[in-house]
Each structure stands twice: as structure tokens, then as C-alpha cells.
Structure 1
């Protein structure tokens, strides 16, 4: 299956959404901190990103892992990079 490409922010939001809709997370009312995805060389499945160090996730390892693996199967991290010297990216030339 071909993966769709998403930005780091979009991947972070999608993993967070899936974690926070899990019944046990909703029931406990816990807020799990989801880190930014980090680019990696594509693994055996072709996934080019990972996440580490989820916050406030003790006891929710299965939920976090399931959400992460599901999103990794569907999406790859966009390889587009913006100018790191510019806070707002490049402005159009006039």
C-alpha cells in the first residue's frame, strides 16, 4: 500500500487524535503529550519517521503503540523542508 505524505504537524495531530479517542484514555481523562515525528531512513515497511518519548503515557503503552503503528502504516513524513533561517518560510518575490 502506498503511503500518503503529511507534514510533521499533521502526523503529530493524527497520532494525538487516535490516542485521545481510545476509550480507556477518554475514560481516564488523561492528556498524553505526543512528540513531533522524527525523520529516519525508511524501515523494512517503507516508513520514514518515528516518534519517541510520549509524555504522561504510563499505563497507556498499548494505546500509544497501536495509534503510532496505524498512522505509520498510512503516512510518510513529507521531505519538504523550509528555510530554517526564516521563521515564516520564504516570502514570494515581488
Structure 2
């Protein structure tokens, strides 16, 4: 499967969006903190990023693992450096 690429913010938003539409999480009113994706060498499946240390996720690890697996199968982290782009706007 060919993956689409997203920058770190968009990947973080996508994982958060999917988590926070799961019935059990919505019903419990839980807000899970989603970390920024971390670039890594592509794994056996070809995915080049991972996420660790979700906040407020105790008891919801199964949902986090399922969503993370789905998103990692669909997207790769783009090579663009967002902070570099922002700094260039200010002439740094």
C-alpha cells in the first residue's frame, strides 16, 4: 500500500481526531493528549514515524494502539521541517 504523506501537525491532528470520535472515549468525556510523531527509519512495513507517551490514556491503550496502527498504515511523515519554514518567515 502506498502511503500518503503528512507533516507532523497534520499527523498529530489525524490521530487525535480518530481517537476522539471513538464511542467509549466520547462517552467517558476523556481528552487524550496525542504526542508529536517522531521520525524513524522506515520499519518492515515502510512506516517512517511513531508516537509514544500518550497522555491521559490509561484504560484506553487498546484504542490508542488500534488508531495508531491504522494511521501508520495510511500515512508517512513528510520530510519538511515545519520549524524551519516558520523561522524563514522571520528571516532567521
Regarding TM over 0.5, the answer is yes
Q: Structure 2: 5+ residue runs without aligned partners? A: none
Structure-1 separation of matches of 2:83 and 2:3: 26
Q: Which has the higher helix share?
A: 2
Could you list the structure 1 runs, at least 4 aligned residues long, displaced by more than 4 angstroms after superposition. none
Structure 1 position 2, deviation (Å): 0.3
Structure-2 separation of matches of 1:60 and 1:52: 14
Question: TM-score scaled by structure 1?
Answer: 0.89
Out of 63, 78, 90, the residue aligned to residue 88 of structure 2 is 90
Q: Give the count of matched residue pairs.
A: 90
Q: Deviations over 1:1-49 (max 9, x none)?
A: 1000000000000000010000100010000000000000000000000
Structural RMSD (CA): 1.7
Select the structure with the greater relative contact order (CA < 8 A; seq sep ≥ 6): 2
Question: TM-score scaled by structure 2?
Answer: 0.91
